[in-house]
């Protein structure tokens, strides 16, 4: 049972990541590529949060509700890391979108194959 | 003076937040203040380098928690050497771009902030002792690099930056995946503790994680085939930024790659070093061959830079102490010489929008000093005596011969010939062709000249008297090779627990 | 064809990743560092929310980096988009969508103060409840986004944004530097104030102060970024 849970939870997160990479590699529309990037980020965040889960764990907050009780708390470190990863992902997405705006202004298109200088 | 490694990060960040306010007082402050900060860091590097020794690294706690509980900065002979190299080089690049007439106040403010944060981020990558913190600094470095690549509106900067960003975003996820695999198996993020717990990690996870790190950091370190971003970024970014990509960004990337493969993973003898060696060899051969066919000066220098990074990877891929020494020596030389080449080339192609090599005819007479400095850099980078490049290449050849890798030795020599050919083609244009009459020439400003001359003096000085630097390099090489020492110095308590 | 190649490559990558992560069982207790944090956070720092203790104190250096990344994103967008000597025309000609309806406008105005208060609440109570500077800052930025969507004329004054983001950033680094001077271990970002008692608003020492600074900074930064994207101050082509 636990094996099934392990595969399904991590598998879902990795599937989301793969969808993101697929979009980044195959889409022709710059905005869609940026969306792919975002999906990739989200997939990773899902994975990291799942890593921090501990069976039967509650939120790692010592509120009056848990005072004096013997509770298991989930691993707080991945949550802190995800916060960092989200913010950094946001920053990169914002810069990417502003680059797309500039490319659109210059070439009047957001199709990647109509912008010659973007080819490798 | 207060010398604390934390200032490498705290001071540039403080200034970056302060500069927009200072600009309201007096506009030239946006140029001056970042320079003062970089100067302070450069002097601090010298002070710290004197304090640090083989057995006494400077380990800085953050937030009062000892490693591995908190993040720490580790200034050792090795990391300190690279950090000092970066900070001193950054000061001279700032000096070079101090006047930067082409941009106006608003842009100048952003330029200097971004440049300063690029430097701070790179030093952070080098000094941090925490693997996730390294990721944060890699992102700081990359984000400033994206913005600086797209700095000029007239060029194809946005395209180059977008490519750079896509590869960078991909690499950051690979890096995060590698980190999270390590976290999943060990439950820690501190680099020393990771190194200590590494034998517990199953082989399969170790290999996958190592490959993820390798790919992610290989992108920063300009490893083939992940370096697609580099030629465009180098050729579209402003001249001094191209210099700092070669001297600062790529150095931080290769440092991280080496730290991960030498200290954290214990895969060196199970193929980790061989992978580094092979990838270095491929990178070098491919880049140098492509460099020969370039018509754009900047792109040629960019490919040459990748070739040099390949050389560094080969040196570290040997896995011997001599190899590490040679690798560090090449890193030092590449940082200084390539920066000089990029800085000089910025004036050589100042008014030509396509930056073609064929537009350089007769510049030897028009810009005597700049051309001379460029020539000097070219001689040094291909490894001709009496310049510093000669000694580093020699030490690499000796290290390769010691490891009995004749094939690698022969390849390096063959590639050196290619290097000589394409650099001398440029020099031939500079000195043995007649100048085009209508050509416009931009004289370098005094500050740029000073900064280029200082770099040239370093090249000649180390070339004539390599002992200036070999002591430092030997210490640094010994420090990197001593993995158990690294763990013991950072987490002494945990280390002794495992021994008992 | 190309898509097939990519798909098969992704399949291989996904297989290896899944296999590797599956080796580390889901729901397993792997706390090495975490137990230390869970123990020290309520005892030594008197911070109820362990995640906040980690984000602001144990790994506070990361957070400084994050804040810098946001700052860089805002600065970088300015470099990428703003045109020199641009004539400020006020309206972005690319925003062709019609003005939002009266209902949306009125509701936006009505909701705005409530959103501000919620955001401020979230970042002030970051050390007690789920949430904190980043979350609160993001909530505040959504308030401005609401106004940007409902009023075409609405512009954020970049002058104020610059002031707030600079001052908040300076506060963060200054608190960090004060830690070197005043903290018991003389280290950066260290707590040097009385930590108070668990689950009170005044607990946590500098952690609460830093998170408030982060809240202001994130709010200013995100608002600035949104405004840059919505009201790009240039028309026609670049160059």
Tell me the pLDDT tens digit for each residue of A1-13: 678 888 898 999 9
CB atoms within 10 A of CB C239: 10
| C-alpha distance from C64 to closest chain A C-alpha (Å) | 10
Name which residue leads in pLDDT, A116 or B85: B85
The pLDDT score that the predictor gives to residue B235 is 86
Pairwise CA distance, residues B83 & A103, whole Å:
36
**B225 preceded by cis ω (within 30°)?**
yes
For residue A111, list its beta bridge partners.
A29
Show Cβ contacts of residue B89 under 8 Å, excluding neighbours closer than 6 positions.
B244, B247, B248, B335, B336, B339
CB atoms within 10 A of CB B221: 28
Backbone angles phi, psi at B73, to 5 degrees: -105, 135
Contact between C3 and A26 (Cβ < 8 Å): yes
The pLDDT score that the predictor gives to residue C99 is 75
Pairwise CA distance, residues B462 & B444, whole Å:
25
Show Cβ contacts of residue B345 under 8 Å, excluding neighbours closer than 6 positions.
B239, B297, B298, B301, B374
User: Of the candidates B165, B297, B147, which has an alpha carbon nearest to the alpha carbon of residue B228?
Assistant: B165
Q: Is the pLDDT of residue C238 over 80?
A: no
Q: Is the pLDDT of residue C85 over 80?
A: no
Tokens representing B273 are 């070093």
The pLDDT score that the predictor gives to residue B333 is 92
| C-alpha distance from C179 to closest chain B C-alpha (Å) | 8
What was the ipTM of the complex prediction? 0.94
Handedness of CA C160, C165, C170, C171 (dihedral sign): positive
Nearest C-alpha in C relative to B103: C84
Q: How many domains does chain B have?
A: 1
The pLDDT score that the predictor gives to residue A104 is 87
Containing domain of residue B162, as a range?
154-499
| C-alpha distance from A61 to closest chain C C-alpha (Å) | 4
Show Cβ contacts of residue B427 under 8 Å, excluding neighbours closer than 6 positions.
B374, B375, B378
Q: Is A29 helix (H, G, I), strand (E, B) or coil?
A: strand
Percent of chain B, pLDDT > 90?
48
Q: How many CB pairs under 8 A join B and C?
A: 172
Pairwise CA distance, residues A72 & C40, whole Å:
16
Measured between CB atoms, which of B158, B169, B180 is closest to A92? B169
H or E element, residue C19? helix C2-23
C165 touches chain B (CB under 8 A): yes
The pLDDT score that the predictor gives to residue A120 is 55
The pLDDT score that the predictor gives to residue B43 is 94
H or E element, residue B60? strand B58-61
The pLDDT score that the predictor gives to residue B353 is 61
Show Cβ contacts of residue C51 under 8 Å, excluding neighbours closer than 6 positions.
A60, A61, A76, A79, A80, A83, C130, C132
Residues B7-55: tens digit of each pLDDT: 999 999 999 999 888 888 888 888 889 999 999 999 999 999 988 887 8
Contact between A19 and A41 (Cβ < 8 Å): no
Query: What distance lies between CA B380 and its chain's CA centroid?
Result: 18
Pairwise CA distance, residues A57 & B176, whole Å:
24
Longest CA pairwise span in chain C (Å): 65
Which residues of chain B have a CB within 8 Å of the CB of A106? 158
**B68 preceded by cis ω (within 30°)?**
yes
Percent of chain B, pLDDT > 70?
97
What value does the mean pLDDT take over residues B119-131?
93
- The secondary structure of B67-84 as a DSSP string is TTTS-EEEE-HHHHHHHH
The pLDDT score that the predictor gives to residue C239 is 38
B137 touches chain C (CB under 8 A): yes
Q: Is residue B39 part of a domain?
A: no
What value does the mean pLDDT take over residues A53-69?
82
Contact A84 B147 (CB under 8 A): no
Place of tokens 């899944």: C18
Residues B297-325: tens digit of each pLDDT: 888 999 999 999 999 999 999 888 899 99
**First vs last C-alpha separation in chain C:** 40
| C-alpha distance from B106 to closest chain C C-alpha (Å) | 8
Q: Is residue B133 part of a domain?
A: no
Pairwise CA distance, residues B241 & B93, whole Å:
8
Place of tokens 């842009």: B107
pLDDT level of residue C90 (50, 70, 90 thresholds): very low
Q: Give the 3-state DSSP-derived string for B475-493, with helices as H, strands as E and coil as C.
A: HHHHHHHCHHHHHHHHCHH
| C-alpha distance from B162 to closest chain A C-alpha (Å) | 6
Average pLDDT, chain C: 84
The pLDDT score that the predictor gives to residue B101 is 58
Half-sphere exposure of C48 (CA within 13 A, CB side): 24
Residues C135-172: tens digit of each pLDDT: 999 999 999 999 988 887 787 888 888 899 899 999 99
Tokens representing B488 are 């013991």
Q: Is A59 helix (H, G, I), strand (E, B) or coil?
A: coil
What value does the mean pLDDT take over residues B127-133?
93
Contact between B339 and B452 (Cβ < 8 Å): no
* Domain spans of chain C, in order of start: 35-80+101-230
C189 touches chain B (CB under 8 A): yes
Pairwise CA distance, residues B210 & B204, whole Å:
10
pLDDT level of residue C237 (50, 70, 90 thresholds): very low
Pairwise CA distance, residues B497 & B487, whole Å:
12
Q: Is the pLDDT of residue B438 over 70?
A: no
Q: Is C100 exposed, middle or buried (0-12, 13-18, 19+ CB in 10 A)?
A: middle
Q: What is the DSSP letter of B354?
A: T
Residues B161-193: tens digit of each pLDDT: 998 999 999 999 999 999 999 999 988 899 999
Total-model pTM: 0.94
pLDDT level of residue B354 (50, 70, 90 thresholds): low
Residues C211-227: tens digit of each pLDDT: 999 999 999 999 988 88
Show Cβ contacts of residue B499 under 8 Å, excluding neighbours closer than 6 positions.
none
Contact A61 C13 (CB under 8 A): no
Measured between CB atoms, which of C21, C170, C179 is closest to B17? C170
Contact between B331 and B254 (Cβ < 8 Å): yes
Q: Is B435 helix (H, G, I), strand (E, B) or coil?
A: coil
What value does the mean pLDDT take over residues A59-69?
81
CB atoms within 10 A of CB C89: 11
Q: Is residue B272 part of a domain?
A: yes
CB atoms within 10 A of CB A52: 23
Percent of chain C, pLDDT > 70?
89
The pLDDT score that the predictor gives to residue B453 is 92
Contact A37 B169 (CB under 8 A): yes
CB atoms within 10 A of CB B498: 10
What value does the mean pLDDT take over residues B266-282?
86
Which residues of chain C have a CB within 8 Å of the CB of A21? 10, 13
Contact C65 B133 (CB under 8 A): yes
pLDDT level of residue B67 (50, 70, 90 thresholds): confident
B319: left (phi over 0), alpha (psi -120 to 50) or beta: left
CB atoms within 10 A of CB A73: 19
Which residues of chain C have a CB within 8 Å of the CB of A14? 14, 17-18, 21
Contact B104 C33 (CB under 8 A): no
Backbone angles phi, psi at B243, to 5 degrees: -60, -40
| C-alpha distance from A13 to closest chain B C-alpha (Å) | 12
Q: Is the pLDDT of residue B222 over 50?
A: yes
Q: Is B248 helix (H, G, I), strand (E, B) or coil?
A: helix
Contact A106 B158 (CB under 8 A): yes
Q: Is the pLDDT of residue A119 over 70?
A: no
pLDDT level of residue C42 (50, 70, 90 thresholds): confident
Residues B448-494: tens digit of each pLDDT: 889 999 999 999 999 898 888 888 999 999 988 888 888 888 888 87
For residue B62, list its beta bridge partners.
B65, C188
Place of tokens 């028009």: B366
Q: Is residue B384 part of a domain?
A: yes
CB atoms within 10 A of CB C197: 9
Pairwise CA distance, residues B498 & B57, whole Å:
22
Q: How many CB pairs under 8 A join A and B?
A: 73
Q: What is the DSSP letter of B264?
A: I
What value does the mean pLDDT take over residues B257-279?
87
Show Cβ contacts of residue B79 under 8 Å, excluding neighbours closer than 6 positions.
B126, B127, B255, B259
Name which residue leads in pLDDT, B360 or C239: B360
The pLDDT score that the predictor gives to residue B121 is 94
For residue A61, list its beta bridge partners.
C49
Pairwise CA distance, residues A38 & A90, whole Å:
8
The pLDDT score that the predictor gives to residue B498 is 65
Handedness of CA B257, C21, B141, B241 (dihedral sign): positive
**First vs last C-alpha separation in chain A:** 47
Which residues of chain A have a CB within 8 Å of the CB of C203? none
Measured between CB atoms, which of A40, A77, A106 is closest to B173? A40
pLDDT level of residue C89 (50, 70, 90 thresholds): very low
Half-sphere exposure of B84 (CA within 13 A, CB side): 23
For residue B356, list its beta bridge partners.
B296
User: Of the candidates B70, B59, A82, which has an alpha carbon nearest to the alpha carbon of residue C59?
Assistant: B70
What value does the mean pLDDT take over residues C180-198?
85
Average pLDDT, chain B: 88
Contact between B310 and B295 (Cβ < 8 Å): no
Pairwise CA distance, residues B453 & B37, whole Å:
22
What value does the mean pLDDT take over residues B130-148?
93
For residue B75, list its beta bridge partners.
B58
B59, B188, B486 from B131: Cα distances, Å? 16, 9, 15
Which residues of chain A have a CB within 8 Å of the CB of C37? 76-77
Domains of chain A from N-terminus onward: 2-57+72-118 (1.10.287.3510)
Residues 19-38 of C with CB under 8 A from B: 19-21, 23-24, 30-34, 36-37
Contact C17 B144 (CB under 8 A): no
């Amino acid at each position: 049972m636990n094996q099934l849970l392990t595969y399904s939870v991590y598998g879902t997160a990795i599937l989301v990541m793969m969808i993101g990479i697929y979009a980044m590699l195959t889409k022709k529309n710059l905005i869609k590529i940026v969306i792919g990037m975002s999906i990739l980020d989200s997939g990773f965040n899902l994975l990291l949060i799942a890593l921090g889960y501990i069976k039967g764990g509650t939120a790692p907050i010592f509120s009056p509700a848990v005072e004096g009780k013997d509770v298991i708390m989930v691993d707080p470190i991945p949550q802190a890391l995800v916060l960092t990863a989200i913010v950094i992902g946001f920053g990169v997405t914002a810069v990417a979108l502003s680059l797309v705006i500039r490319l659109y202004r210059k070439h009047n298109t957001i199709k990647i194959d109509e912008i010659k200088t973007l080819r490798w | 003076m207060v010398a604390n490694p934390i200032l490498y990060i705290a001071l540039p960040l403080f200034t970056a937040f302060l500069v927009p306010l200072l600009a309201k007082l007096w506009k030239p402050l946006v140029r001056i203040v970042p320079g003062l900060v970089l100067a302070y860091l450069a002097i601090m590097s010298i002070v710290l380098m004197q304090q640090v020794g083989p057995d006494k690294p400077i380990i800085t706690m953050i937030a009062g928690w000892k490693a591995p509980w908190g993040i720490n900065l580790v200034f050792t002979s090795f990391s300190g050497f690279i950090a000092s190299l970066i900070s001193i080089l950054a000061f001279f690049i700032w000096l070079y771009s101090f006047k930067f007439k082409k941009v106006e106040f608003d842009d100048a403010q952003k330029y200097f902030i971004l440049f300063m944060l690029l430097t701070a981020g790179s030093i952070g990558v080098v000094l941090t002792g925490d693997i996730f913190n390294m990721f944060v600094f890699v992102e700081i470095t990359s984000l400033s690099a994206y913005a600086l690549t797209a700095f000029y509106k007239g060029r194809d900067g946005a395209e180059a930056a977008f490519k750079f960003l896509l590869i960078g975003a991909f690499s950051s996820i690979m890096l995060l995946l590698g980190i999270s695999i390590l976290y999943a198996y060990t439950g820690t993020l501190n680099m020393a503790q990771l190194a200590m717990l590494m034998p517990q990690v199953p082989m399969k996870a170790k290999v996958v994680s190592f490959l993820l790190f390798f790919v992610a950091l290989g992108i920063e370190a300009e490893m083939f085939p992940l370096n697609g971003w580099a030629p465009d970024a180098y050729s579209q970014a402003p001249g001094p930024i191209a210099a700092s990509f070669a001297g600062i960004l790529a150095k931080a990337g290769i440092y991280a790659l080496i730290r991960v493969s030498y200290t954290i993973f214990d895969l060196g003898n199970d193929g980790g070093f061989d992978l580094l060696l092979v990838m270095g060899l491929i990178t070098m051969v491919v880049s140098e061959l492509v460099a020969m066919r370039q018509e754009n000066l900047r792109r040629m220098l960019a490919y040459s830079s990748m070739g040099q990074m390949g050389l560094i990877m080969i040196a570290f891929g040997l896995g011997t102490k001599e190899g590490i020494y040679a690798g560090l020596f090449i890193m030092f030389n590449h940082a200084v010489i390539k920066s000089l080449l990029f800085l000089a080339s910025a004036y050589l192609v100042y008014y030509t929008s396509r930056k073609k090599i064929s537009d350089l005819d007769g510049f030897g007479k028009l810009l005597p000093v700049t051309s001379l400095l460029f020539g000097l850099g070219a001689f040094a980078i291909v490894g001709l005596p009496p310049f510093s490049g000669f000694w580093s290449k020699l030490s690499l050849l000796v290290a390769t011969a010691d490891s009995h890798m004749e094939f690698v030795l022969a390849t390096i020599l063959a590639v050196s010939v290619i290097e000589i050919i394409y650099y001398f083609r440029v020099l031939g244009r500079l000195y043995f062709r007649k100048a085009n009459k209508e050509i416009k020439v931009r004289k370098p400003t005094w500050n740029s000249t000073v900064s280029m001359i200082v770099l040239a003096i370093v090249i000649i000085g180390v070339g004539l008297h390599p002992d200036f630097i070999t002591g430092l390099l030997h210490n640094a090489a010994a420090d990197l090779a001593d993995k158990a020492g690294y763990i013991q110095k950072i987490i002494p308590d945990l280390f002794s627990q495992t021994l008992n | 064809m190309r898509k097939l190649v990519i798909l098969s490559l992704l399949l291989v990558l996904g297989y290896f990743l899944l296999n590797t992560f599956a080796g580390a069982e889901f729901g397993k207790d792997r706390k090495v560092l975490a137990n230390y944090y869970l123990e020290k956070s309520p005892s030594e720092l008197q911070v109820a929310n362990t995640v906040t203790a980690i984000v602001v104190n144990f790994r506070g250096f990361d957070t400084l980096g994050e804040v810098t990344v946001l700052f860089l994103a805002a600065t970088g967008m300015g470099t990428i988009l703003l045109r020199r000597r641009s004539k400020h025309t006020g309206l972005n000609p690319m925003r062709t969508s019609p003005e939002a309806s009266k209902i949306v406008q009125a509701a936006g105005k009505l909701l705005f103060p409530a959103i501000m208060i919620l955001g401020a609440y979230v970042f002030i109570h970051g050390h007690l409840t789920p949430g904190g500077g980043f979350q609160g800052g993001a909530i505040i930025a959504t308030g401005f986004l609401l106004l940007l969507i409902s009023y075409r004329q609405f512009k954020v004054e970049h002058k104020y944004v610059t002031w707030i983001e600079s001052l908040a950033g300076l506060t963060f680094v200054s608190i960090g530097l004060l830690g070197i001077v005043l903290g018991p271990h003389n280290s950066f970002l260290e707590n040097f104030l009385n930590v108070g008692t668990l689950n009170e608003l005044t607990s946590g020492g500098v952690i609460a102060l830093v998170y408030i600074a982060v809240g202001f900074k994130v709010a200013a930064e995100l608002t600035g970024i949104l405004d840059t994207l919505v009201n790009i101050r240039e028309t026609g082509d670049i160059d």
